[in-house]
Amino acid sequence: MYDVKKIREDFPILSRKIYEKPLVYLDNAATSQTPRQVIEALVDYYENSNANVHRGVHHLSQEATDLYESARVKVAKFINAREPEEIVWTRNTTESINLVAHTWAQEHIGPGDEIIVTPMEHHSNLVPWQKVAADKGATLRILPLAKDASIDLSDIDEYITPRTKLLAMVHMSNGVGTINPVKELTAKAKKMGATVLVDAAQSAPHMPVDVIDLDCDFLALSGHKMLGPTGIGALYGRRELLEEMDPFLTGGEMVLEVWYDRATWNDLPMKFEAGTPNIADAVGLGAAVDYLQDIGMENIRDHEIQLTRYALEAFKELEEELEMFGPSDAEKRGGILSFHTDAVHPHDLGTFLDRDGIAVRTGHHCTMPLMRSLGVIASARASFYLYNTEEEVDALVDSLKRALRYFTDGAK
């Protein structure tokens, strides 16, 4: 039985008041809140086990190393990687994608090659490929957008061809919530010999993600969107690819042997982890994964589908005022509602909601080209997580109704 009330008790921040109103936190696509279990893991690490990893012979160093590496095992299992060596710690999804752009892509993308992305990429999975394409004389191609803000697949075979070297795609759109058919597109791309990178920043926190089932080559995620601390993320890479790739950053930890004039690289995954890593936050992310798996990713996904369905229904009251983006079927989207009205700018809506204690994101959500394709500059976005409730959706709709009235006819 999914007990949202009990889950909420694990999140100290959710009992906060904002302007004397209970906090209604609906900005989970930007960052998620942190359960006590993760905070305690961080405190416990610093109070009892803090030391540098993979270095000392002393007891604490071994303890820190064990904690750090067991967090890697947890993340590997979480996304069903074959082995923990396929998980490289990074700061976040952006760094994970840049790692691939600065290593693998440098060797494998050349003049005339094509890189394919979806029309709803976060800037972090678009700008690195713009730069690789420009530097290498390759072409960046954008899949077309369908009316419901999903990918228009009608001409997909014109896009994914033997010229395709890389398909880089977001699993769940942070801008509009669309869940893309990653598995099907990966299969198509692989048939053409392409490599596939999946941006799982939004999907990994909210639904089961299985790299073997998806059959992708790379997958990137961020800890802070899945109940973990900021500053820690991960890149999954298939072992064969990681083995043959050059290092990203160089220095300590990533080397095996060093002479004055040369060095040899350490084994996976340390080859990609130069310098003292973010040990504590990796441990914290491990605790977040434990927490998520205790509840179960299927259960979290079901909760969010129900909540999204409830919200889509509740928003029908506002359908004359608000334009909603993304698929209308809750099964085909994440718990992200993105909406727009010509009557009130998203920032003005956001300020009004804020004074009701409701936190939503307003702006372009780091997806400026997508917003432009939708014909708007910015939208307001409410995004759910495992701890959100139907009462919070009601509060959102009620506040939105009053906001619309306030800005359009001045009534209070």
Partner 1 sequence: MAQNDLDELYGNDLIRDHNRNPRNSAKLNSPDLVADAVNPFCGDEAHFQINLDGQGRVSEVGYEGVGCAICRSAGSMLSEVIKGHTLEGVEEISGLFQDMMFGVEPSEEQAALLGDLTSMTGVRAFPIRIKCALLAWSAIEDRISEHQRRQP
Interacting residues of 361 by C-beta distance below 8 A, sequence separation 6+: 27, 29, 30, 350, 380, 381, 383
Nearest CB to partner 1, comparing residues 310 and 407 = 407
- Site for partner 1 contains 55 (CB under 8 A): no
Stretch that binds partner 1, among 15-23, 190-198, 216-224, 239-247 (CB under 8 A): 15-23
- Site for partner 1 contains 20 (CB under 8 A): yes
Which amino acids are annotated catalytic? 366
- Site for partner 1 contains 19 (CB under 8 A): yes
C-alpha R_g of the chain: 22
Nearest CB to partner 1, comparing residues 129 and 352 = 352
Stretch that binds partner 1, among 86-94, 140-148, 308-316, 404-412 (CB under 8 A): 404-412
**Minimal CA–CA distance to 219: which of 203, 207, 243, 231?**
203
Nearest distance in Å: CB 19, partner 1: 5
Stretch that binds partner 1, among 8-16, 18-26, 263-271, 300-308 (CB under 8 A): 18-26
Nearest CB to partner 1, comparing residues 134 and 377 = 377
- Site for partner 1 contains 82 (CB under 8 A): no
Distances (CA, A) of 353 to 25, 159, 291, 357: 11, 42, 30, 7
- Site for partner 1 contains 371 (CB under 8 A): yes
- Among 363, 373, 389, 394, contact with partner 1 (rule: CB under 8 A): 363
The residue written with tokens 């690789």 in the block is 132
- Sites for partner 1 among residues 317-356 (CB under 8 A): 344-348, 351-352, 355-356
How large is the greatest C-alpha to C-alpha distance in the chain, in angstroms?
75
- Site for partner 1 contains 17 (CB under 8 A): no
- Site for partner 1 contains 402 (CB under 8 A): yes
AA letter at 190? K
CA 297 to chain centre: 15
CA 110 to chain centre: 28
Interacting residues of 353 by C-beta distance below 8 A, sequence separation 6+: 359, 360, 380, 396, 399, 400, 403
**Minimal CA–CA distance to 306: which of 394, 389, 408?**
389
- Site for partner 1 contains 409 (CB under 8 A): no
* CA 67/CA 355 separation, integer angstroms: 42
* CA 97/CA 330 separation, integer angstroms: 28
Three-state DSSP class for 390? helix
Nearest CB to partner 1, comparing residues 16 and 82 = 16
Stretch that binds partner 1, among 66-74, 112-120, 287-295, 401-409 (CB under 8 A): 401-409
- Among 30, 192, 241, 368, contact with partner 1 (rule: CB under 8 A): 368
Give the bridge partners for 220, in sequence order: 199, 235
Nearest CB to partner 1, comparing residues 3 and 20 = 20
Nearest CB to partner 1, comparing residues 249 and 397 = 397
* CA 295/CA 31 separation, integer angstroms: 19
Site residues (CB under 8 A) for partner 1? 19-21, 344-348, 351-352, 355-356, 362-364, 368, 371, 377-378, 399, 402, 406-407, 410, 412
